[in-house]
Amino acid sequence: MANLSNSNERDQWSSKIGFVLAAAGSAVGLGNLWRFPYTAGQNGGGAFVLMYFVILFLVGFTLMLAELIIGRHTQLNAIGAYRKIRKNWAWVGGIGVLASFLILSFYSVIGGWVVHYVVRTVTGGLALADTNAYEGLFVGFITNPIQPILYHAIFASLTVGIVMGGVSGGIEKYSKILMPGLFVMMIIIMLRSVTLPGASEGIKFFLAPDFSKIDGSVMLAALGQVFFSLSLGMGVIITYGSYLGKSENIPQNSITIPLVDTGIALLAGLAILPAVFALGFEPDAGPSLLFITLPAVFAEMPLGMVFALIFFLLVLFAALTSSISLLEASVSFVVDQFKLSRKSAAALLGLAVFLLGIPSSLGQGIWSDLTFIRGNDFMDSIDFIASNIMLPLGGFFLCIFIGWIWGIDNALKEATNNGKISFKLAGFWSFLVKYVAPLAILVVFFQGLRS
Ligand code: PFF
């Protein structure tokens, strides 16, 4: 198995499944289980899901392949990869690495909430008789000025520890058990959720698009979600692609990974939104859906707390396989660039991530009056800048870079392993990467900023 702890040696994944699991592990995370359902809830449900699919097909697959091509071709971290092909394009990789760092800062705060829910379930504190009490429980926890910061520290330390110690023997091995486990659990919870009395309203809300709801900001939210969920635009996929062997079929991988990711996001939406309606919560409640609604669903199930424990453990695992990839993007750059040891780089960056996450945590409680961008608190502002601005910009320049600067011919040579494998959609992909994806990103980007 590849050893991500030592990216300087440019390890390779030893098996196809090792790479697919790591990349799917990066893609499947809080973005699917937490961000997708609540963003759908805030943006008109089905209207958002429809836009998500349109953008997934036009932009998601296209950029996934583009990043894998650059990574495998150069066998370098994101900034180094751009620099190797064209010296003065390194800044595009820089946007990505900075975005991954910003995202990790609040990702780790939410990861801390998950750790807390695991602990609370184990200690019996998640079994409440009154399903309406879960809101108070959650709000009480996240508005506390100290506790969530401690849990944020625990989650950040877990991430740092794994990145320091290497990934192959741990994450890869456990991914094989836990990712299918997550999938099975999601199906069970989804089945419970859609069979609750009153669930059909939620299913309709999630799956039936109301076209009148589609506007610039819904489109921008969907664009940001595609980037966030597929781990695109931040150099993570470039870095992971750089560990791939030259004989792997990357066009195929660029379809598998988004399909797995989207499948899990849809399951999460169907697990959460019908329950929201059935139990009388508001679908646009935002980030709290995972922490308020699901425990309430569990409380109504036989053996609910057992399910809750398994579920939150799996959420934690999904979050960790994503957070290590986020940290890996900047660690591999700092190691290459400043010749720091991997351990020191992980520790230093981890500390910086922890500090930057503190205002995101305090913004839930004592600093909740402080608003930054578009009336959002610190966490949502960082999320907005990184996911909805930096990632789309990074993605736009990635298309320009591949389509117009480095050139489609070079990219296709890499994609087809120098003509050794067939890539039937080569012509279509070239058209998408040169014209459709960059235009779509620009249009959505400016529409979204105006509305
Ligand atoms: N894709 C992850 C998720 O959906 O939770 C989050 C993420 C991981 C974003 C890695 C970006 C990234 F580079």
pLDDT value at residue 166 = 58
pLDDT value at residue 1 = 37
Burial of 245 (C-beta count, 10 Å sphere; 0-12/13-18/19+)? middle
Mean pLDDT of 335-348: 88
Mean pLDDT of 207-230: 86
Residue 8 is classified by DSSP as G
Cβ-based neighbours of 337, under 8 Å, separated by 6 or more: 79, 80
Is the pLDDT at 2 greater than 50, yes or no?
Answer: no
pLDDT value at residue 411 = 95
Q: Are 349 and 330 in contact (CB under 8 A)?
A: yes
Q: 360 C-alpha to center of ligand 1: Å? A: 18
Q: What is the pTM of this model?
A: 0.88
Q: 329 C-alpha to center of ligand 1: Å? A: 11
Is the pLDDT at 432 greater than 50, yes or no?
Answer: yes
Q: 155 C-alpha to center of ligand 1: Å? A: 15
Cβ-based neighbours of 194, under 8 Å, separated by 6 or more: 202, 203, 270, 274
Is the pLDDT at 5 greater than 50, yes or no?
Answer: no
Q: 232 C-alpha to center of ligand 1: Å? A: 8
Is the pLDDT at 307 greater than 90, yes or no?
Answer: no
pLDDT value at residue 8 = 45
What pLDDT, in 10s, does the model give residues 110-134? 999 999 999 999 998 888 878 788 8
> Which ligand 1 atom sits closest to the C-alpha of 229?
4
> Mean pLDDT across the chain, nearest whole number?
87
Q: Are 449 and 220 in contact (CB under 8 A)?
A: yes
- pLDDT higher at 6 or 376: 376
Cβ-based neighbours of 156, under 8 Å, separated by 6 or more: 108, 111, 112, 350, 353, 354, 357
DSSP track, 241-256: HTTS-TTS-HHHHHHH
Q: Is the CB of 108 under 6 A from ligand 1?
A: no
Burial of 409 (C-beta count, 10 Å sphere; 0-12/13-18/19+)? exposed
pLDDT value at residue 272 = 84
Cβ-based neighbours of 14, under 8 Å, separated by 6 or more: 1, 2
- pLDDT higher at 252 or 373: 252
Q: What angle do CA 149, 151, 153 make, to 5 degrees?
A: 70
Residue whose C-alpha is closest to residue 141's, from 114, 168, 170: 114
Is the pLDDT at 298 greater than 90, yes or no?
Answer: no
Q: Is the CB of 326 under 6 A from ligand 1?
A: yes
pLDDT value at residue 317 = 85
Q: Are 54 and 226 in contact (CB under 8 A)?
A: no
Q: 164 C-alpha to center of ligand 1: Å? A: 19
pLDDT value at residue 169 = 56
Q: Is the CB of 33 under 6 A from ligand 1?
A: no
